[in-house]
Amino acid sequence: MLANQPLADRMRPATLDGFLGQEQLVGKDAILRRTIESGKIPSFILWGPPGVGKTTLARIIANKHNRPFYQLSAVHSGVKDIRTTIEKAKKQQFFDRPNPVLFIDEIHRFNKSQQDSLLGAVEQGVLTLIGATTENPSFEVISPLLSRCQVYVLKPLEKPDLENLIEKAITTDSYLKEFDISVKEKEAILRYSGGDARKLFNIIELIVSAESEKDEKPKTNKKREKQKIVIDNEMVLKRVQENMALYDKSGEQHYDIISAFIKSIRGSDPNAAVYWLARMVEGGEDIKFIARRMLILAAEDIGLANPNALLLAQSCFEAVNVIGWPESRIILSEAAIYLATSPKSNSAYMAINSAQKEVKESGDLPVPLNIRNAPTKLMKDLNYGKDYKYAHSYEGNFTKEKFLPEELGDKKLYEPQKNTREEEIRKRLKKLWEDKYGY
């Protein structure tokens, strides 16, 4: 039976010297380390993937300077919790005592009003805010709060860091030292951990727990030898697959389920789309991540077959940012069903792919003289803009003109697909450009 405290917590370093990885921030003479050691800690946001040390860094800072440490999770906390914490922080303000640290995990999940409630305390120095986010704070944190915080980017842990953590765990942890553990193969542990230290420790803990239960022998008066555990790839695969969670929002299933969701919408199956949406909702997936993926899908897979799909997806994205949880699930459901039941076209996606391919192959072809900008006399003398035909001066606001570089001739990059909306587009283009858009 493993100790009640998880291995990841038991292995959490208490000082910067014990902190592995993020040399660009906390290595010798690195910017964040110098700031921490100076004791003049500004409010800041740590942006990086899960399990790379965001919470640990916040705790190290508070411990190093004997600051009260408050922690909130944006998943479970609201404005009331923030205000309560701020009041506690105010009561800690005595003489020259340093202000408390408020650590907010997954700060990107706070809506605007929740983030607004932090502004006064941060600006007045009532507390030092340390936010942690896996999402780009430029998009997820309101501008007034972002302008009051530094942003530090953390990277996924690299292979040498993860290997060091494995060795450190099996040789220094008080519980794991009770076993004779050797790691014969590391590839599976490293793959499943995905640069996440917490996951790596969870995998080790899972394996040791399972193997120790197989060796529950009656105690005798003899001193018992240490149980030998040899960890290889096959053992890791077996144990991890047996204990795969319903939904791991930061792991392999995260990508499998969002893939199933997107493909169900693309395949026009609203029932499957809502099912996979429910899997993400129940698993605690970030609602803005789901809305963002639907926004991309509306342009890529529905496109010109139903241009309103992009507008609805955009409205969905904006609405979930305002409404928050749990009502946002209804908005997501409406958008998913609408997108799934819409006609499909990827013509815009194919057109930009074709155009980018052409640019890479053809290089920087010159702009035809007739459509160049001519703001100066010299440019006019060089025939920039000469003979340009202004479309609105002609019947139907159209006249034939050469807009592509001469080398590309009449190359066609956009091909309307066979759906009601694009059939109308094709008819108009055929009328304007004749045979170029006939079948």
Domains defined for the chain, CATH in brackets: 22-153 (3.40.50.300), 159-215+224-242 (1.10.8.60), 252-341 (1.20.272.10), 363-437 (no CATH)
Q: In 3D, which of 267, 241, 270 has the Cα closest to residue 253?
A: 241
Determine how many CB atoms are found less than 10 A away from the CB of residue 16.
Answer: 19
Look up the pTM and report it.
0.56
Alpha-carbon Rg for the chain, nearest whole angstrom, is: 29
Residue 429 carries which DSSP code? H
pLDDT at position 220 over 60: no
Q: What's the rounded mean pLDDT across residues 128-151? A: 88
Residue 78 has a pLDDT of 84
CA dihedral 28, 30, 33, 35 (to 10 degrees): 140
Contact predicate 186/163, CB 8 Å: yes
Contact predicate 404/436, CB 8 Å: no
Q: What's the rounded mean pLDDT across residues 170-176? A: 89
Q: How far from the centroid of its chain's Cα atoms is residue 172's Cα?
A: 33
pLDDT in tens, 17-62: 888 888 888 888 888 899 888 888 899 999 988 888 899 999 998 8
pLDDT in tens, 391-433: 787 787 877 777 778 888 788 888 888 888 888 888 887 887 8
Would you call 94 helix, strand, or coil by DSSP? coil
- Which secondary structure element, helix H or strand E, spans residue 164, and what is its range? helix 159-172
Instruction: Report the alpha-carbon distance of residue 369 to residue 386 in Å, rounded.
Output: 7
Q: What's the rounded mean pLDDT across residues 349-375? A: 82
Instruction: Report the alpha-carbon distance of residue 52 to residue 200 in Å, rounded.
Output: 11
Of residues 305 and 375, more confidence is placed in 305
Instruction: Report the alpha-carbon distance of residue 387 to residue 366 in Å, rounded.
Output: 17
Least confident among 82-86, 219-223, 330-334: 219-223
Amino acid at 406: E
Q: Which two tokens stand for residue 224?
A: 């018992």
Contact predicate 205/2, CB 8 Å: yes
For residue 247, count CB atoms less than 10 angstroms from its CB and return exposed for 0-12, middle for 13-18, buried for 19 or more. Answer: middle
pLDDT at position 1 over 50: no
Q: In 3D, which of 250, 275, 281 has the Cα closest to residue 263?
A: 275
- Using pLDDT thresholds of 50, 70 and 90, give the confidence band for residue 324: confident
- Using pLDDT thresholds of 50, 70 and 90, give the confidence band for residue 439: low
- Which secondary structure element, helix H or strand E, spans residue 219, and what is its range? none
Q: How many Cα neighbours within 13 Å face the side chain of 273?
A: 25
Please list the residues that pair with 230 across neighbouring strands: 182
Contact predicate 109/83, CB 8 Å: no
pLDDT at position 313 over 80: yes
pLDDT at position 248 over 70: no
Q: Which residue carries 């053809």 as its tokens?
A: 362
Q: How many Cα neighbours within 13 Å face the side chain of 233?
A: 6
